[in-house]
Amino acid sequence: MFHVEQSQKMNKEQFKSLIRNIPDFPQKGIQFKDITTALKDAECLRWMRDEIVKIYKDKGITKVVGLESRGFIIGPAVAMEIGAGFVPERKPGKLPADVISVSYNKEYGTDTMQIHKDALCEDDVVLIHDDLLATGGTVEAAIKLVKSVGVKKIYVNFLIELEALNGRKVIDKDIEISSLIKF
């Protein structure tokens, strides 16, 4: 299904240069990596989608699970391009049917994520997608939710990885992880 003309103008360094750093957001001491500056560039959007598709197009993925909320931006485009469905993982009160929930710690507090009970099945090969890997709390919760269904295999992808925060250490060693850029 991968038929989109490859981006010729964008590369990792150009993508990295489009990420805006917001000091002390959402609280003091956090250096927030804002992707909205990259999202407003059509060539960059295309490049992000195409780079992720290149990594996962031959992995047999049946569902892309996007994490609220920035995982909803590129995740559906990747899913369509590789012929997979898209499943949103959301915060409480956002999904209308029966859900599975998990609470977790993140770098600046606690949170809960939910997925519909019938969103995945044992035959699914899942790509969990989010914009950023920091300490890993959010993706750890996402993996727990996806594993609770008993899927065949899980892959994890991020647009950005903050290496100094060691988020990879909370992800199971048998899960393949990719990040488009690292800070």
Q: Omega of the bond prior to 26 within 30 degrees of 0, cis?
A: yes
Q: How far apart are CA 66 and CA 51, in angstroms?
A: 17
Please report, as a single letter, which amino acid is at residue 116.
H
Residue 175: exposure state from Cβ atoms within 10 A (0-12, 13-18, ≥19):
middle
**What residues are annotated to the active site?**
70, 107
Cα(96)–Cα(116) distance, integer angstroms: 8
